Amino acid sequence: MTLSTLRQQLTSGETTPAAILHRLAGEISARDSQTGAYLSYNLEAALAEAANADLSLPLGGIPIAIKDNINVLGQPCTCGSKFLENFISPYDATVIRKLRAAGAIPFGRMNQDEFAMGSSTENSALQITRNPHDPTRIPGGSSGGSAAAVADLTAIASLGSDTGGSIRQPASHCGVVGLKPSYGRVSRYGLVAFASSLDQIGPLTQTVEDAARVLQAIAGGDPLDSTCLDAPVPDYLSGLNDGVKGLKLGIPKEYFGEGIDPGVRKNVEAAIQALAAQGAEIVPISLPHTEHAVATYYVIAPAEASSNLSRFDGIRYGRRAENPSDILDLYQKSREQGFGPEVKRRIILGTYVLSSGYYDAYYSRAQKVRTLIRRDFESAFTQVDAILSPVAPSPARKLGGSSGDPLHEYLSDIFTLAANLAGIPGISIPCGTTDFDGSKNLPVGLQILAPHLGEAQLLRIAKAAEIKS
């Protein structure tokens, strides 16, 4: 059931919030042992909220699954890490307060790559999440649990976070809709920080309309987050069916070069032609600094991670090593025991690029290239209304298929992370399936990018492009 359909059934009296929760719990019990999307859920607490649900509200009585790096009062917030394995959140994130204000019920903690660092959810220290379309394959990451649950129909909708594609890439791999809002459109207060200048919270849903409904609830200014913009929030549903006639849609040559799986290319190009058939004008464009995006991202993001994760020291909360010889030994052992290999790799890399003698050569230079990447998009959006591309170069790979090569994983984010560097919104829409690496009918995603705060136009184009896989 989509969120929109359930809303109709709730308001007509065909079902109740409690019935929806019991049905979800049954689906989770039946299927999630194989998928592994849920780290935990509290049915009793959700039923208590459901008993008082206001069905007149936009999301009244609808359960929404939550990625495990977003704080919900009284619930675990592990970030997929042993460091926070027993941590219980003492407050609600702003997006959770807004969901509750819209009538939604936060239900379930979704698995993720540890501290959102990864593109496969294999970096979770707590469990493996599998792709519902093929359990031998990854669901993508870092919001792999959030995407897999929606695809597996064990969640109606979910929230994820996107630092370099962590909503859009798993949405593509799992065949669902994933929206990364503009930087500053949605509050980050209560999101455990990975890279503060890149992180954004957004919805993963079954349809574009559902994504618009969830974004409507969570968007808007927040005095608790100084980077959240106090800009008017448009009605994202009002122009959803206006179509694309007369719009100019850009096709960046840098996103259609070598290395794209033929099935991905075929499906994405078919989606582009379908938009052209609806009256959109397809315009070739260039984003010339794309080749530097991966290197730029993997300097800036680890640098910010190094700073943000310094607070995890075993003193105030989280894992604390036993029997340390002194305070320094406590720090070292707590972090050694608490963090997984990918998190350690990024902390070390980030500390290195921020260190004396290397700051100007790496971090400062990366910030300058980031400006050039942002200007590429600003220039492109003077010519076109939106940009179309694949989400990922290939469908979901096999579990363990990276062979421990982090560089291979980092390069798989090439089409998504530039949007985070530029702060613009992006969405992944299912655009068919393809056979790949011995598996049949694996989902493919179409990425649509729009100017900063252009979510209304982004959703309008996505609705026109929506294809059921």
Which residues are identified as catalytic? 67, 142, 166
Euclidean distance between CA atoms 217 and 96, whole angstroms? 10
> Facing residues of 389 across strands?
447
Work out the end-to-end distance of the chain between its first and last CA atoms, rounded to an integer number of angstroms: 16
Q: Is 207 strand, coil or helix?
A: coil
- The secondary structure of the chain in percent helix, strand, coil, rounded to multiples of 5, reads 40, 15, 45
- Residues in Cβ contact with 240 at an 8 Å cutoff, skipping those fewer than 6 apart: 208, 209, 212, 459, 460, 463
Euclidean distance between CA atoms 194 and 303, whole angstroms? 10
> Facing residues of 131 across strands?
134
Beta strands in 73-199 (DSSP E): 105-110, 157-162, 177-180
Euclidean distance between CA atoms 64 and 57, whole angstroms? 15
CA 264 from centroid of its chain's CA atoms = 20
Token digits of residue 65: 């699954």
Strands 200-205 and 157-162: antiparallel
* DSSP character string of 340-399: -HHHHHHHHHHHHHHSTTTIIIIIIHHHHHHHHHHHHHHHHTTT-SEEEEESSSSSPPBT
SS (H, E, C) 231-281: CCCCCCCCCCCCCCCCCEEEEEHHHCCCCCCHHHHHHHHHHHHHHHHCCCE
Q: Quickly count helices (H) and strands (E) in the chain.
A: 15, 11
Cβ atoms 110, 146 nearer than 8 A: yes
Euclidean distance between CA atoms 139 and 120, whole angstroms? 6
Euclidean distance between CA atoms 206 and 176, whole angstroms? 5
